[in-house]
Structures are given as C-alpha cells and as structure tokens.
Structure 1
Amino acid sequence: MAQYDVDLFVIGAGSGGTRASRIAAAHGAKVAVAEEYRVGGTCVIRGCVPKKLLVYGAHFAEDLADARRFGWNVPDCDFEWTTLRDNVLNEVKRLEGVYGETLVNNKVEVIRERAEITGPHGIRLASGRELTAKYILVATGATPDIPTCPGHQYGITSNEAFDLDAVPRRIVIAGAGYIANEFAGIFHQFGSHVTMVNRTDVILRGYDEQIRDRLIQIATTKGITFKFHAAFEKVVKQEDGSLLVHVTGDHEPIACDVLMFATGRRPLTDGLGLESAGITLDERGAIPVDEDSKTSCDSIYAVGDVTNRVQLTPVAIREGQAFADTVFGNKPHRVDYDCIPSAVFSHPPIGAVGLTEAQGRNKYGSVKTYTSDFRPMKNVLAGRNERSLYKLVVHAETDVVLGIHMIGPDAPEILQAAAIAVKAGLTKAQFDETVALHPSMAEELVLMR
C-alpha cells in the first residue's frame, strides 16, 4: 500500500477548507492545509463578516435620526470612518486568530504559503517543498471578476473597500448583484453619493421580481442613482485624482472619486496545476465535481465557491463536512441543495427561500401568491414612508408553501426560522393556523388571507 506524507492536503483555509480539515482530523486523518493569504477565507477576512459589521455601522445613520421622534435628544453626530474601519479590521484579525487556533487545536498542520498540484497525489509549495497526500481537497474559493476596459485598473473591488482611507464623496458601483446592492446601501448611509451602473435593467437576478422592484423604489427614494443598460467603455483618471467613467447608452460620463467593481466572482483556479491530474475546468474556470464533491481524478475533491455550485459560506461548510465524513468518517452523506435560504444585506435587507413566483409558474404551471405590503410600526412613528413587502408562493393544488420572499427591517433574521417551514413542506393552512405574535413584523407571515 502506498505511503503518503499526509492523508489529506487541503488547498485553501476558508470556510469549506477549514471545516473539512478539522473534521477529517477529528476522524483520525493526518491533515495539512495551505493558505497563501489569511486563514478564514473570503467570508471572514474580506466578505460576509466585515461587510455585515459595516452594515451595522450604516444603520446608525437613520437610527440616530429616528431616535428624536422617540423622545431622545440626539445631537447632530459626525461619522468617523477610520474608527469603524479600524475596529472592523481588528475584529477580522481576532477571528483569523480563532480560526487558526481551531486548526492547530485539532492537530492540523497549517502551511502559510501557496500550494500547487503536481499530480493525483502531489503537492508543491511556493518554498519548493514537495509533499504527497492520499487525498487532495481544493477549497480556494472565488475572486472578484473585473471587466476589461481601458482604465479598469483605477477601480477597486469589495476586497479593497474595507481599507479605504476615507468615505468617498462620490462612488460608482458596477454591477447589480448582492455585493453591489449591499455596498450601495452602506456607502449611501455613510454620506456618499452612490451611482449604480448595470449592463441590463435587472438587479439581483434570481430573486423575486416584486422584491427586486421594491428595493429599486426604496433605494431611488433614498437618493441612490441607477444607470441601466450601461456597459463600461473606459475609465479616465483626472488631474485631481478623480475618475470619469464612460458608459454606453444615452448616459453622460459619470464623475466619481471611487469606482468599485462588483460584477460577480469567478472560481480561483489559476495556476493550481489541476491539469497535471487530468482535471479540466468548465467555461467559468470552475472545477466540475460529482455529488460527493469528487473531481474526475479519484484522489482529488473540491468544495465551496471554486466549484461554482452555490456560492454561499454555509454551503461550503456543509460540503466540507460531507466530504470529511464521507471519506474519513465512514458516515457518507451528501449536501441537500434544495430550499437554501439567502439574504441580501441591502438597505433595507432582503430574505428569500424556495421558489420565486416566476419559478413556481415555470415548474408547476400555476401558483397562488399572497402578499403583505405594510409600513413597519417603527417607520410610522419615525415619519418614514418606507414600506416592507412579504410574499408567499403557494402550490395551487397541494397548498404547500413553495417560497417566502421578504424585504424590510430584519428580514433575514425572520426568514431563517420561516425557512424551516418551507424546507419541511408546510402548507399555507398551517401558516394560517399559527397564532400571530403581536405586535411584530413577523406576524405578517401568518396573517395573509
């Protein structure tokens, strides 16, 4: 029987790679993980976690103003970006330490350098050291996809947004997905004039149309500008350091201080040496895998965003867990990709699970929809006209709730519990039978008639 340096070598210490490493080691495997940047990956270091902390910070802009309507004598407040930025970066540093400590405590060898595959069982590190592994797991994640146009090098991505020296007075955000809409809300609340530029007139593709339209309506009312059917032609740097963004269509050039590309993320597979193991990437550069996350090479697996299945941190974690349990724990199981809840931490946020109305009609021919369009109590007293929208998509014959879609304060927090009901296949009648928790926004889910 062939002898290897380690039982498992993991490339990438993000959410999926860390979970797989820890669980495999707990099952008795000898594990090493290589990370060329920082332990924790996109979510912890430059994604979900620091972004959500900025979202929390942004909410104080309206909360402080609204507090006066609730009797609090709040003075005019100045916002200090560097304080929030540095506190967020310090929290990220703390979490990075926790992740690294967890790996070490589970007897996983952490190698802080780049690793490349040299064959079905071979690894070469940037230092020149070579190792062999019985199994290799690729969990390198994804990286921002930047449009190629003259002057694109003057733009930043979400990676750099956390390190800005100051809040830009004017920012152009390219794209209309969740990252674009989240940072649009963040920078708007911090005082930036935000312009969103998109090639089409569709934002948040894959979310329910009514919810998307409501976000555009609210964002426009707040003062965010949308430029639709606008592709990038060139970016020109001015003498004063500002930028002039030229786009197609009937749009004038847009002057800004920062241009941020949020135009999607592509799997990070460049230079990994996968071809040495006979692995061919798909047209997006992703690693094709089967239901057990195995590639075309029996000894090499891949999990997380690098496979371009579902680019969500909790999914990567479950894929890493399933891989380790199946290969090393004698507990084979697969990830269930049905009814995965998702959120957009826009302003206000969106929560969604299951089928949209359009998807329901395409799949079943006809569906029933129930909506609640209401003004939250807090907004009423605060004098804000902003309205929330909750929507249920229901099977016309079986009465099973196929999807829930929400936009409004705390929508993701409410949606997590409601997602259990959709996953369990509960009916609209069972929602109706549930006593409302009054007064709350969540009660609208059981009051739709």
Structure 2
Amino acid sequence: MSEFDYDLFVIGGGSGGVRAARVAAGETGAKVALAEEDRYGGTCVIRGCVPKKLMVFASEYRHAAKEARAYGWDMADGDFHWDRFKGKLEAELDRLEGVYRKLLAGSGVETFDARAKLKDAHTVELSTGETKTAKHILIATGGRPVRPDLPNADLGMVSDDIFHLKALPKRVLIIGGGYIACEFACILNGLGVEVTQYYRGAQILRGFDDEARGLIAESMKQSGVDLHLGTDIVEMHSDGGDSDLASPVGDAQYGAAAQSAGHEAGKPIHVKATNGETRVFDAVFFATGRKPNSDNMGLESLGIEVGRKGEIKVDEYSQTKVPSVYAIGDVTDRVNLTPVAIREGMAFVETVFKGNPTAVDHDLIPSAVFTQPEFGTVGLSEEQARAQEEIEVYCTSFRPMQTAFAEGEGRVLMKLIVSKANRTILGCHIVAPGAGELIQMVGIAVKMGATKEDFDRTVAVHPTMSEELVTMRNPVRTA
C-alpha cells in the first residue's frame, strides 16, 4: 500500500490540468485527484478562447447582409439581440463544463470542488478543511486579468466580466493594445457597440510583426473602432454613488469569476486621458495584462521559486525546485496558450508516469489573433529575424476576390521571412479572414524546416487567397 493518498494531485481544472490528470489516470493507472475551486474547463473554456470565439462568430454577421446584397441576395439588415445570444452561450459553456467533468470521472480521477494550497512537499490542504497527500503535485492554476493601479479602477471590467454582461453598453472604452484588447474591440464593434480604444504604445499588438499589426490597426479604424495610440487613462469616476458594476473579479484569486453576478450598464463613467480629453462612456474595459494564479498557495515557504509577476519557476520538464512539485500552463508564464498548457501536461505525464523524460518544445508555435481580419503567425517577425541574421522578405497585400467583388475595402497580407543562409522559412504572417485556419497548416511546414524552394515547388490552389504563399517569386526587400 502506498504511503500517499494519491500518486498525483492536480490543482486546477483547466485544459492543462484536466488533460494531465485524465491521461495519468487513464493511461498509466495512477491514482489521481484534482481540485478546482470554480468551473471546470478553466480560462479557455469558461472565460476565454471558447466564449470569445463564439462572440467573434456572432460579431462577423454584422455586415453579412450588405455583402449578400452585393452578390444578388435580397437580404435586409437586422439587429443583434445580446440576450438571445447570451442564453445560448451560457448553455454551451454549461455543456462543455459537463464534458470536462465526465472526462475526469470516466478516467477514474477523484475531483474536489474546493480551493487547494500546498501544506508541504507532498500534502495539499483543501478549503473544506481536508488534507490529502500525493507522491506528485501538479499546479495548473492558470492566470487572471489584472486591473491597473488607478483610483476607481473597480468601475471598469476585465476580460472575465465581459461574458457576464446583462446588456451590451452603447459606448465602451477599451484600455490596452494586446491581443485581448484588440479582439474585443473588434467583437464589440461588430456587435454594434461604439468602441474607443486607448493604447499607450506607438502601435497595437506589440511583439508581433510590424507590417501585420499596422494593417490590422488600419482595418480596425476602417471598420469603426476609434483607436488612439500613444494614449492612456489618467483618471476615471462615475456620476457619484456606488458603481452598478459587480464587484471586481479580475484581481481575486483564480476562479473568482464565479462570484460575479454579471454586469449591467450603470452610471456613466467619466475618463480623462493623457491627451487632455475627458470623455464619457457606459463601460470601461481594462485589457492591460494578466497575472499567474500563484498567490496564497504556500509556495515560497516550501522553497518553490516564484518570479516577479508571480510565475512559478520550472525547468524544461516543468519541475520546480521542490522535486515532487511540478507546474504547467499560464501559472508558469512561459507561452500562455491553451494548446501549450495541454502539451506541457502531456510531457509531464510522459516524464513522471511513463518513464520517458520529455522536455516541452516551445519553439515555432503557431498562434492566431482573432481580430477582424484575423492574424495568423508562426516563427519570427521580420524585426526579430533581421536582428538575428540576413533575410529575404516575401510579401503581398491585396483585396481578396470575395471582398473586391462586393466593393469592400478590406485587405489581406501574406508574408514569408526567409533565411538567406539556408533558405528555411523563419516566419510566416497572414492577415486575412480565416488566418487562424491557414496558419495551422503552414505551421506544420515551418516546424518541419521547409525552405522557400519547398513552398515554390508546391502547386497553388486556385483561386484562393493562400495561393500567394506559394507564388511569390521575388523578395520585396532584404535585410
């Protein structure tokens, strides 16, 4: 009989934690338990990727009737009804949470609907008062959005709150220029909200390819987003009294979104900006960063190293300084993407339970930003690549056939960054409808080390936007 209650105790029921728990239990016969204080599925399923993508789909129908008329259809414009959509959205999230619970139960994982923290290297203490021991402990608690250090910041929303709105605001201010800020600017604009966006930097989507983010910024402005660069918020206040918004959820410990009863339009919010303007909005949405959920977990007292932002420090096998404790996903602040957390969970199981030490591969990860148009990217930006070596840049931008026929203004971008030394594709950047789908396929080729000549040898699929990736013969510049 084991000296521990479990072979593995997982803290956190998001995508990475659930995958690690059920694979360890189902494929290796390990005795596994998992604790989650909020909803199963974590940020991605409950308050991130999935509901956001459904909102993206909803927002894209705004101009469908206009485009259909250009193609000969007698179709009238309509109105968006948030309450109808919200009901279906909540039902879908409930269904998905049920799927996660069934997957765990079907794999033999014992679950605890409770908050967990570490008592020692092999003991977990639950908020129910119970303590459980385990040979290995895996922390997969994810991250949370944070508010800026600003008076009355509680008047604003964070990304966790957006899905709980009782009604859409008429005028919203979005603070931030990262992918979350830009995605929701496009979503809310598409749903008919007057969107203003402030970003203190010189251009949105910092860290991505300059040419791509420039096109996205122009497209956002063209579609109606009132984007102000080099602009930040100085102060904000309502017209007196308490805010009608629910209590802040973004700065609480992980899973705190469950305590939100939902937001509704409250008193107008007066915002003063660094450009000197004071404007009034129905809602303010902070998309100014996220923080790992590592607070009050007993980590430091055990000697587990935690970084400046709260990220748990781990080695290439996701192991902390305490040999029995591992961490994966956003709480480690390595590459904060759901598929990466899942891969890290699988590598953990291979290493610890299958005797096959597997380092996590964080190189050449394709990703997508669901702005309108979408942005798909893999590998190095032009700026990163030319700082590393001599390169050739192949690039084209054009109005795609579907848009041009309907006399629309939207443009797409196809871009390849090529090493002069060995001709490998160092980066690919696509700004276009469906770019997320396209970059998944390109990502396979880039991961395999494809060269520009491999792309050139591939016959084009015509007529498509993506055929440009294999028909660009001459570089537009070298660096």
- TM-score of the superposed pair, with normalisation by structure 2: 0.92
**Residue of structure 1 equivalent to 2:441:** 417
Q: Is the 8 A contact 2:368 2:376 kept in 1?
A: yes
The whole-number CA distance in structure 2 between the counterparts of 1:5 and 1:276 is: 23
Letter in 2 for 1:95: L
Match of 2:263 in 1: none
Residue 212 of structure 2 is matched in structure 1 by 211
Q: Please give the secondary structure, in 1, of the residue aligned with 2:63.
A: helix
- 8 Å CA contact 2:414, 2:466 repeated in 1: no
How do 1:126-137 and structure 2 match up within 5 A? Answer: 126-137=127-138
The answer for the alignment partner of 1:291 in structure 2 is: 316
> How many matched pairs?
447
Could you tell me which amino acid in structure 2 is paired with residue 245 of structure 1?
A: V
Name the CA distance, whole Å, in 1 between partners of 2:368 and 2:148: 25
Residue ranges of structure 2 left out of the alignment (5+ in a row): 241-265, 474-479
* Counterpart selection for 2:466 from 433, 437, 442: 442
Q: Structure 1 residue aligned with 2:417, among 378, 386, 393?
A: 393
Q: What are the equivalent positions in structure 2 for 1:22-421 lying under 5 Å apart?
A: 22-26=22-26, 27-238=28-239, 241-248=267-274, 250-364=275-389, 366-421=390-445
Q: Distance in 2 between matches of 1:219 and 1:143?
A: 26
Structure 1 residue 2: deviation in Å? Answer: 6.7
Amino acid aligned to 1:387: R
Aligned to 2:11: 11
Deviation at 1:79, TM superposition (A): 1.0
Moved over 6 A (4+): none
RMSD over aligned CA atoms reads: 1.2
Scaled by the length of structure 1, what TM-score is found? 0.98
Query: AA paired with 1:87?
Result: K
Please give the per-residue CA displacement for 1:132-166, whole angstroms capped at 9, x wherever unaligned: 11111000000002101011000011111011122
Question: Residues of 1 paired with 2:471 and 2:411: CA distance?
Answer: 17
Percent of residue pairs bearing the same amino acid type: 46
Distance in 1 (CA, whole Å) between partners of 2:279 and 2:31 is: 55
Q: Is the contact between residue 378 and residue 429 of structure 2 (CA under 8 Å) also seen in structure 1?
A: yes
Residue 276 of structure 1: how far off its partner (Å):
3.0
SS of residue in 2 equivalent to 1:234 = strand
Q: Deviations over 1:91-133 (max 9, x none)?
A: 1110000011000000000100101111101111111111111
Aligned twin of 1:428: 452
Which stretch has the larger CA shift, 170-179 or 250-259? 250-259
The question of whether the paired residues in 1 share the 8 Å contact of 2:175 and 2:232 is answered with no
The one-letter amino acid of 1:321's match is M
Measured in 2, the distance between the counterparts of 1:2 and 1:446 equals: 58
- Give the CA deviation at 1:231: 3.0
Contact 1:10/1:137 (8 A) holds in 2: yes
> Secondary structure at 1:311's aligned position in 2?
coil
Q: CA–CA distance in 1 between the matches of 2:92 and 2:407?
A: 35
Indicate conservation of the 8 Å contact 1:230/1:251, yes or no. no
Distance in 2 (alpha carbons) for counterparts of 1:356 and 1:339:
12
Could you tell me whether the CA contact under 8 Å between 2:44 and 2:50 is conserved in 1?
yes
- Residue deviations 1:296-326, cap 9 Å, x none? 0000000000000000000000000110121
